[in-house]
């Protein structure tokens, strides 16, 4: 199974940056999907205590609060980019605006991979949960396609 994220201590500033980035990616295609909102809301609830301990409020976080300087390690940068990729995949459609925004952050942080690769890795990780399915295989393949994976990658993941 592909590993999506390693556990990392975010800290309030990085958590706010990630939440803001998630909001920004959801708004980037002018079509905020309920599944994107649900994912962002769940993350906000998970970081509530950390943000409030620093005197902040999750209700005050907006898409303009992306402060990449708060991502002080490679692990935090990866968590940020993977979180954005997860939101972009939440509605089952990868839009060019979402890819462009992730690539903008990749470039700004000098991150050593592309937005496409990050999204592909997240898609592979999500699809790997269907490894070995025989019933409903066609549905798993459709999910892989919706995640932007090619037929060879889908077969490799499901058959491994």
- pLDDT > 70? residue 155: yes
Number of domains forming the structure of the chain:
2
Residues 123 and 89 in one domain: no
Query: What is the spatial distance between Cα 49 and Cα 31, in angstroms, rounded to a whole number?
Result: 30
For residue 32, the enclosing domain spans 10-112
Residues 30 and 88 in one domain: yes
Residues 61 and 29 in one domain: yes
Query: What is the spatial distance between Cα 41 and Cα 38, in angstroms, rounded to a whole number?
Result: 5
Helix (H) or strand (E) holding 85: helix 74-90
Residues 35 and 79 in one domain: yes
Domain end (from 112, 133, 148): 112
> Each residue of 86-99: pLDDT tens digit?
999 888 788 899 99
Residues 56 and 67 in one domain: yes
Write down the pTM of the prediction: 0.84
> Each residue of 51-71: pLDDT tens digit?
999 888 999 998 988 999 999
Residues 64 and 125 in one domain: no
CATH number of residue 38's parent domain: 1.10.3680
Residues 47 and 101 in one domain: yes
């Amino acid at each position: 199974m592909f590993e999506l994220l390693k556990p990392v201590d975010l800290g309030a500033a990085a958590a706010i940056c990630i939440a803001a980035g998630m909001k920004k990616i959801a708004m980037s295609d002018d079509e905020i999907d309920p599944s994107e909102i649900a994912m962002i809301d769940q993350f906000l609830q998970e970081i509530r205590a950390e943000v409030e301990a620093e005197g902040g409020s999750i209700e005050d976080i907006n898409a303009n609060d992306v402060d990449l300087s708060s991502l002080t390690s490679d692990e935090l940068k990866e968590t940020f980019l993977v979180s954005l990729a997860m939101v972009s995949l939440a509605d089952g459609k990868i839009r060019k605006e979402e890819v462009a925004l992730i690539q903008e952050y990749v470039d700004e942080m000098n991150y050593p991979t592309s937005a496409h690769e990050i999204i592909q890795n997240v898609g592979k990780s999500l699809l790997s949960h269907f490894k070995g399915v025989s019933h409903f295989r066609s549905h798993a393949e459709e999910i892989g396609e919706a995640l932007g994976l090619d037929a060879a990658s889908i077969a490799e993941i499901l058959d491994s």
